[in-house]
């Protein structure tokens, strides 16, 4: 088995390596991918049309809005799937073995975590809100915010983290994030243009068509961040307790 695996890997790898000589060089400005009309359009027109200097955020939340919407749905489904596979309710006979008690980590770790947690969360909110002008966005900020709750659970025990972010609240947050995203698209429909065509909202958002698109991106990024935060914490708490949600790592 190992031999056939190695053989097939070597054959596929040498085929792929022999194909690399047709690929563009490293850093080639005139490669088909970099010269193509789509990426040239994104680089040259995004700031003019959306007033968002960060092209990645603009493409992610505006031009490829459908893609990002269903990406958020994929995250949501993954969270729901983990709960469906793992979560057990009631008192099972399988008492947790070889698990540290719920008192969390030592004193030093607790104090350090309580000192840096507010800054992590503040930075996460900054990453979400400032994703238009600097690297960042809903996914990145959402993961950071989720990681702050995971850190809380690691330092103070899962019960303490669950008192801030209970299981019901994670599910509600995950659903509300998607509802914000989809609702924003439906709002564009109601205002008379296509689904997720943010330029329809210039009559209710200040600053003209371009700023309407910019503000709409912020709105959908907030929705994405809510879903990602909730699902990240839900994934951690289910995986670390085998779905019992009683005692963490």
Partner 1 sequence: MDIIIASFIEEVIVPKFNYWIYVILMMIGLFAMITKNNLIKKLIGMAIFQTAIILLYVSVGVKSEANIPIISHHGHQEHVENAQDEKHSSKLEVSTDDKSDKSDHHAIDKDKFANPLPHVLMLTAIVVGVSTLGLALAISQKVHGSFGTLEEDEILDQLKPGGHD
Retrieve residue 228's tokens.
């990602």
Among 50, 91, 124, 139, binds partner 1 (CB under 8 A): 139
44 binds partner 1 (CB under 8 A): yes
118 binds partner 1 (CB under 8 A): no
**Closest-CA residue to 234 (of 152, 150, 154, 132):** 150
CA distance 215 to 207: 9
Vertex 38, ends 37 and 44: CA angle to 5°?
85
Q: Are 248 and 155 in contact (CB under 8 A)?
A: no
Please tell me the count of residues contacting partner 1 according to CB under 8 A: 58
Q: Are 79 and 85 in contact (CB under 8 A)?
A: no
In the complex, the smallest distance separating the C-beta of residue 23 from partner 1, rounded to whole angstroms, is 5
In the complex, the smallest distance separating the C-beta of residue 101 from partner 1, rounded to whole angstroms, is 21
Nearer to partner 1, 1 or 107 (CB): 1
59 binds partner 1 (CB under 8 A): yes
- Binding piece for partner 1, criterion CB under 8 A, among 79-87, 99-107, 114-122, 175-183: 79-87
92 binds partner 1 (CB under 8 A): no
CA distance 178 to 74: 11
CA distance 222 to 228: 10
Nearer to partner 1, 78 or 116 (CB): 78
78 binds partner 1 (CB under 8 A): yes
Q: Are 168 and 187 in contact (CB under 8 A)?
A: no
In the complex, the smallest distance separating the C-beta of residue 97 from partner 1, rounded to whole angstroms, is 13
Q: Are 187 and 201 in contact (CB under 8 A)?
A: yes
Site for partner 1 in 23-42 (CB under 8 A): 23-29, 31, 33-34, 38-40, 42
Nearer to partner 1, 13 or 106 (CB): 13
20 binds partner 1 (CB under 8 A): yes
CA distance 58 to 51: 9
CA distance 165 to 173: 10
CA distance 82 to 236: 10
In the complex, the smallest distance separating the C-beta of residue 229 from partner 1, rounded to whole angstroms, is 13
Give the footprint of partner 1 on this chain (CB under 8 A): 1-2, 5-6, 8-10, 12-13, 16-17, 20-21, 23-29, 31, 33-34, 38-40, 42-44, 47, 53-56, 59-60, 64, 67-68, 71, 74-75, 77-79, 81-82, 85-86, 133-135, 137, 139, 235, 238-239, 242
């Amino acid at each position: 088995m190992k031999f056939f695996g190695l053989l097939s890997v070597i054959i596929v790898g040498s085929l792929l390596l022999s194909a690399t000589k047709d690929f563009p060089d490293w850093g080639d400005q005139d490669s088909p991918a970099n010269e193509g009309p789509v990426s040239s359009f994104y680089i040259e027109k995004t700031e003019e049309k959306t007033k968002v200097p960060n092209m990645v955020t603009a493409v992610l939340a505006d031009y490829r809005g459908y893609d990002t919407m269903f990406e958020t749905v994929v995250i949501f489904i993954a969270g729901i799937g983990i709960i469906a596979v793992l979560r057990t309710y009631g008192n099972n006979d399988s008492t947790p073995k070889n698990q540290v008690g719920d008192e969390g980590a030592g004193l030093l770790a607790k104090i350090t975590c309580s000192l840096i947690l507010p800054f992590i969360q503040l930075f996460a909110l900054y990453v979400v809100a400032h994703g238009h002008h600097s690297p960042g966005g809903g996914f990145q900020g959402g993961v950071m915010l989720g990681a702050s709750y995971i850190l809380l659970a690691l330092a103070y025990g899962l019960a303490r983290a669950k008192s801030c972010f209970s299981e019901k609240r994670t599910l509600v947050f995950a659903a509300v994030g998607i509802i914000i995203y989809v609702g924003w698209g439906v709002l564009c429909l109601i205002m008379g243009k296509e689904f997720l065509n943010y330029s329809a909202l210039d009559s209710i958002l200040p600053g003209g068509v371009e700023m309407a698109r910019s503000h709409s991106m912020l709105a959908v990024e907030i929705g994405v961040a809510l879903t990602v935060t909730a699902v990240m914490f839900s994934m951690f708490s289910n995986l670390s307790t085998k779905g019992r949600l009683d005692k963490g790592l």
